[in-house]
Amino acid sequence: MSNNHYAIIGGGINGLSVARQLLLDFPEAQVTLFEKETDVAMHQSSHNSGVVHAGLYYEPGGLKARLCRRGAELVQQYCLENNVAYDECGKVVVALAKEEEGRLDLIYQKSLANKVPDVRILRGEEIQDVEPNCIGTRALYSPRTAIVSYGDIAKKIAEEILQKGGKIVLGRKVSNLTEQNNKITVHFDDNDHYSGTFDRVVTCAGLQSDRLAANSGDIETPKIVPFFGQYYVIDENYKNHVKGLIYPVPDPNYPFLGVHFTKRIDGQMTIGPNAFISFGRENYSGKKFNFSDIYDFLTYKGFWKFSAKNMPAAMRELRTVLSQTNFVEEAAKYVPSLASVSVSPATRGIRAQAMESDGSLVDDFVIRKQGNITHIRNAPSPGATSSLAIAEYIVREVMSH
């Protein structure tokens, strides 16, 4: 494989990590990365919470659990070796009432099975030892959970790729791939194609992953349905009311986590995100409509089956979409001293949510091999945390087989 010519489609943190890993494992290989934007990491990689997840929630033995733990270690190591800011601020998952404590204990057992370091249960007033202004009946404390800027990490990886002799082609949108006689041609959306062919290709197209895969001959499902998540920065005078990360206990009746407190690597404190259908896969401003994207999910039977099952969740999220006051109220259940804090809009992320035709959300990572093409079909949170480990897995396990 060392003399092969590889193409990576997508310049987010996952695509960049795969390109880097190929150059690490096969220094003589030719690696070309294609990104449709004018710079790398312009989508999900720079529109997220920045949390380096420790692996608390994920089903033991699953790909998420395995790659999250490995990925968290690799991200920490990469930041330390490359002088990228890394803050091990810690995280508490807080139960507000007795009925949530059973679910919290299940998360604790998963975190132990996943070998998350130093996790422990806090009872009652012990919560204030970690987060002085937080209330709750019990909490799971993960002191090793950290925050970073994944955009900064991605740009550092891009520099490393170029230093190692890789190529990054910006401003070229790949529409599809064709394979013939074990050689792959990269086609662009302007009906042009790359002048050479490739031995192996990895697609890391994020919000467009299903379209690129299907256009290249892979199966249609799971499809991507976009959900936006809005974050707000709280008044700087109040940012020290929270030291690290404060999360709710996930409710199995709701598909998304709910509003929580997240410290940013620049020292600001945010609350968010909510989760609601986005009227465009790349509609970060929230002010535009992409009718092709809207048509795509409105004509997908899986979306309607999902909606029918999750109307209460949709109504809960809509309250926080329509009102900043409701948004802050949700967060203040955990930190009452911030009940009337003023906030300003910050990052708006869009989650590339993979959904099956029966309306179920795909929870684990989905990485499919199609001939000599490997597609990352689903890499939701903790996709950024796991990026360096996903790259190892693809290069050393998926592609080698």
How many C-beta neighbours within 10 Å does residue 1 have?
A: 14
Long-range contacts of 338-341 (CB under 8 A, 24+ apart): 338/133, 338/234, 338/238, 338/241, 338/242, 341/234, 341/235, 341/238
**Residue 326 pLDDT:** 85
Which two three-digit tokens encode residue 355?
Answer: 């959904």
User: Which tens digits make up the pLDDT trace of 348-357?
Assistant: 899 999 999 9
**Helix-helix angle 150-163:63-82, to 10 degrees:** 70
Separation between Cα atoms, residue 273 and residue 399, nearest integer Å: 35
CB 18 within 8 A of CB 29: no
How many C-beta neighbours within 10 Å does residue 162 have?
A: 11
Separation between Cα atoms, residue 128 and residue 165, nearest integer Å: 51
**Residue 1 pLDDT:** 61
CB 128 within 8 A of CB 77: no
**Residue 83 pLDDT:** 98
User: Residue 92: pLDDT above 70?
Assistant: yes
Report the percentage of the chain scoring pLDDT > 70: 100
Mean pLDDT confidence for 39-44: 97
Closest CA to 18 of 352, 9, 27: 9
> Residues 354, 356, 358, 363: is their CA dihedral positive or negative?
negative
DSSP H or E run through 292 = helix 291-298
**Residue 235 pLDDT:** 96
Strand partners for 147: 51, 87
Residue in the block written with tokens 């929230």: 286
**Residue 324 pLDDT:** 85
Domains along the chain? 5-47+151-222+363-398 (3.50.50.60), 91-143 (no CATH), 224-356 (3.30.9)
330 or 265, which is more confident: 265
CB 150 within 8 A of CB 13: yes
pTM (2 decimals)? 0.96
User: Residue 366: pLDDT above 90?
Assistant: yes
Helix, strand, or coil (residue 224)? strand
Lowest average pLDDT, out of 52-61, 162-171, 252-261, 306-315, goes to: 252-261
User: Which tens digits make up the pLDDT trace of 62-76?
Assistant: 999 999 999 999 999
Residue 268's identity, in one-letter code, is Q
User: Which tens digits make up the pLDDT trace of 228-263?
Assistant: 999 999 999 999 999 999 999 998 877 778 889 999
Report the percentage of the chain scoring pLDDT > 90: 88
**Residue 374 pLDDT:** 98
